[in-house]
């Protein structure tokens, strides 16, 4: 038997009027605090009608019967009718709004609107357009394709090939509508020991990504096995020279070896003094 099979199991429902992303994010944060139990996640989005709420309640009850323990139910349901139905099911109902809305109403001297799914729900053509534009910008300015549009960039990531630039740019664009370009430091750039001409004038927007050579070698090896590109010698050289360049020009940089995309993106935003936009 595997380790997984030895652990007790518990089904976890994420129930929402809309996408369920808020319930998932919050529930996931809490569950990561518990080891020794295997959680089985089930997202039940778009619970907008009595019928759908009843169907969700049935699924919760079934899971309780099958597992012999009541499921955890993380909910961001807002409408009273749907909430009452899901709450009555045989689960442990954890209500994100209940816990905080009361104290906030008191503090702000306002009544909450009880409107469903505002966090990832209400469509706003302007913010949608901004995110899509930022994504198109990231795609068009990926991998140093061109440096002509750097005036428009809010941040320009620099680093050797496979240091994490593209996913970070796309994440910044899709999440925060940030215009992020990226430029891969080539061997020529590194030999010169100078910032490439297209970058030098945008020095304040630069942020460097670096990575441990051994991890970089693994990534490159996967991509082009046994190539010069993936050799430890080449990788060592590139990483060392890139860091020399960052230090020489005072470019802030982050070692991405053990960072998630979220952490890299957060560090970049923070360093660039950009406040996140919420969508």
Annotated binding-site positions for ADP: 159-166
* Phi, psi angles (nearest 5°) of residue 273: 70, 25
Check the CA dihedral 104-106-108-111 and report its sign. positive
Query: How many helices (DSSP H) and strands (DSSP E) are in the chain?
Result: 12, 8
Nearer to a second copy, 76 or 141 (CB): 76
Can residue 225 be called a binding residue for a second copy (CB under 8 A)?
no
Can residue 140 be called a binding residue for a second copy (CB under 8 A)?
no
Contact with a second copy (CB under 8 A): which of 11, 22, 210, 234? 22
Integer-rounded Cα radius of gyration of the chain: 24
For residue 202, count other CB atoms closer than 10 A to its CB: 17
Q: Which residues are annotated as a binding site?
A: 159-166
Contact with a second copy (CB under 8 A): which of 20, 159, 184, 208? 20
Contact with a second copy (CB under 8 A): which of 55, 61, 161, 166? 166
Judged by CB under 8 A, the chain residues 167 through 196 that form the site for a second copy are 167, 170-171, 174
In the complex, what is the shortest distance from the CB of residue 191 to a second copy, in angstroms, rounded to a whole number?
A: 28
Can residue 135 be called a binding residue for a second copy (CB under 8 A)?
yes
Tokens 């509508």 found at = 177
In the complex, what is the shortest distance from the CB of residue 194 to a second copy, in angstroms, rounded to a whole number?
A: 30
Can residue 261 be called a binding residue for a second copy (CB under 8 A)?
yes
Contact with a second copy (CB under 8 A): which of 1, 4, 113, 225? 113
How far is the C-alpha of 158 from the C-alpha of 208, rounded, in Å? Answer: 5
Q: CA of 279: how far to CAs of 125, 175, 241, 266, 276, in Å?
A: 11, 7, 39, 16, 9
Instruction: Determine the interface stretch with a second copy among 13-21, 53-61, 151-159, 195-203 (rule: CB under 8 A).
Output: 13-21
Contact with a second copy (CB under 8 A): which of 120, 196, 202, 255? 120
Contact with a second copy (CB under 8 A): which of 48, 64, 101, 202? 101
**Full strand arrangement of the beta sheet holding 9-15:** 38-44, 9-15, 72-75, 92-95
């Amino acid at each position: 038997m595997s380790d997984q099979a030895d652990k007790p199991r518990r089904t976890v429902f994420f129930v929402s009027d809309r996408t369920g992303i808020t319930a998932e994010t919050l529930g996931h944060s809490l569950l990561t605090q518990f080891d020794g139990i295997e959680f089985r996640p089930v997202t039940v989005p778009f619970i907008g009608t009595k019928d759908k709420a009843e169907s969700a309640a049935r699924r919760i009850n079934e899971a309780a019967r099958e597992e012999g323990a009541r499921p955890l139910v993380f909910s961001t349901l807002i409408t009273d009718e749907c909430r009452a139905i899901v709450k009555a099911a045989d689960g442990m109902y954890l209500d994100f709004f209940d816990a905080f809305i009361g104290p906030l109403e008191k503090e702000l001297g306002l009544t909450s609107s009880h409107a469903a799914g505002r966090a990832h729900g209400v469509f706003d053509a302007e913010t949608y357009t901004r995110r899509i534009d930022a994504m198109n910008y990231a795609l068009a300015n990926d991998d140093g394709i061109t440096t002509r549009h750097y005036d428009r960039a809010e941040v320009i990531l620099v680093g050797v090939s496979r240091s994490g630039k593209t996913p970070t740019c796309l994440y910044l664009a899709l999440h925060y509508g940030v215009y992020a370009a990226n430029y891969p430091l080539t061997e020529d750039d590194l030999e010169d020991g100078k910032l490439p001409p297209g970058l030098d004038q945008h020095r304040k927007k630069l942020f460097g990504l670096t990575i441990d050579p051994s991890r970089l070698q693994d990534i490159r090896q996967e991509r082009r096995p046994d190539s010069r590109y993936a050799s430890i010698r080449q990788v060592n050289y590139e990483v060392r020279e890139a860091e020399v360049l960052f230090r020489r020009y005072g470019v802030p940089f982050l070692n991405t070896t053990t960072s998630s995309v979220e952490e890299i993106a957060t560090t970049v935003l923070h360093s660039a003094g950009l406040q996140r936009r919420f969508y």
